[in-house]
């Protein structure tokens, strides 16, 4: 009997084959954020066969669970995800938020098994890249391995930034840095850097920042009173970008 993961992969492959609008790296509007960034056009063309399937997930659905066997990396095509790890006392600690152009699944490379959960924050879509195929292609396509190492380095820098965030900043600095980081990420993807919708809850933000739910809500309300932002439920408008940056600590500019 096939495992659930294998059945899902077969279904994904079947659905992808039927899709006449199958994603290709050469016509993807996220190519500058994903693996092909900086690669020669001829090499990007050769990457068209690298993406094996395209997978769609509903809000709350798991892309991967801790303990799942590692087979593929996933490039986020649309939507957003949260990454979580279970603590010793049974709580889920949010370790990051992924959006379009980000790569998911790197946690499984070292042990051939995933160590974090990845949950869709909204209806989302990913491109599945079999790691064995990626390794093979990196030996044949100039620049692919370098680009992959660049992505891994970016992940390491981001994790170090989170450690600084949790270890040495006041609550106001943490929340301000989080909002500034989101603004930069939206700008890089061609969206408004000053007006966006938070897909994560205040509780999830607090888990990520090492703050209580009440503290996150209080700080955001304070920023609203200070006219740094305007916030209504999950909709955020940054009224004073420089003022918000002044509150945030420069050490987390890589987040």
Whole-number percent of the chain with pLDDT over 70: 75
> Out of 3.90.180.10, 2.40.30.10, 2.60.120.10, 3.40.225.10, which CATH number does the structure's domain 4-143 have?
2.60.120.10
When pLDDT is averaged across residues 30-45 and rounded to a whole number, the result is: 65
Indicate if the pLDDT at residue 200 is higher than 90.
yes
Q: Could you report the per-residue pLDDT of 141-171, keeping only the tens digit for each?
A: 767 777 777 777 777 777 766 777 677 789 9
Phi, psi of 87 (to 5 degrees): -85, 170
Q: How would residue 23 be classed by pLDDT, with cut points 50, 70 and 90?
A: low
- The pTM assigned to this predicted structure is 0.81
Would you list the domain boundaries of the chain?
A: 4-143, 169-252
Which one is predicted more confidently, 96 or 134? 96
When pLDDT is averaged across residues 230-248 and rounded to a whole number, the result is: 95
Q: Please name which of 97, 103, 102, 101 lies closest in space to residue 120, comparing C-alpha atoms.
A: 97
Which one is predicted more confidently, 252 or 196? 196
Strands 80-86 and 92-99, bridge-based pairing: antiparallel
In CATH, what number does 169-252 get? 1.10.10.10
Cβ neighbour number for residue 140 with a 10 Å cutoff: 9
């Amino acid at each position: 009997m096939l495992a659930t993961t294998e059945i899902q992969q077969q279904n994904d492959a079947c659905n992808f084959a039927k899709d006449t609008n199958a994603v290709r790296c050469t016509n993807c509007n996220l190519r500058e954020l994903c693996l092909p960034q900086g690669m020669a056009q001829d090499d990007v063309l050769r990457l068209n066969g690298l993406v094996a399937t395209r997978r769609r997930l509903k809000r709350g659905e798991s892309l991967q669970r801790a303990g799942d066997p590692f087979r593929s990396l996933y490039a986020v095509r649309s939507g957003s995800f949260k990454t979580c790890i279970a603590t010793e006392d049974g709580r889920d600690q949010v370790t990051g938020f992924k959006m379009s152009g980000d790569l998911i699944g790197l946690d499984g490379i070292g042990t051939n098994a995933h160590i974090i959960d990845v949950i869709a924050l909204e209806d989302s879509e990913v491109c599945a890249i079999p790691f064995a195929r990626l390794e093979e292609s990196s030996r044949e396509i100039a620049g692919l391995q370098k680009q992959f190492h660049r992505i891994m380095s970016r992940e390491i820098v981001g994790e170090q930034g989170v450690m600084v965030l949790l270890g040495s900043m006041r609550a106001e600095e943490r929340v301000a840095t989080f909002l500034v980081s989101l603004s930069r990420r939206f700008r890089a993807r061609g969206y408004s850097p000053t007006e966006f919708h938070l897909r994560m809850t205040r509780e999830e933000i607090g888990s990520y920042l090492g703050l209580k739910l009440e503290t996150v809500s209080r700080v955001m309300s304070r920023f609203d009173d200070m006219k740094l932002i305007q916030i209504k439920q999950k909709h955020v408008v940054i009224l004073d970008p420089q003022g918000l940056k002044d509150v945030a600590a420069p050490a987390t500019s890589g987040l």
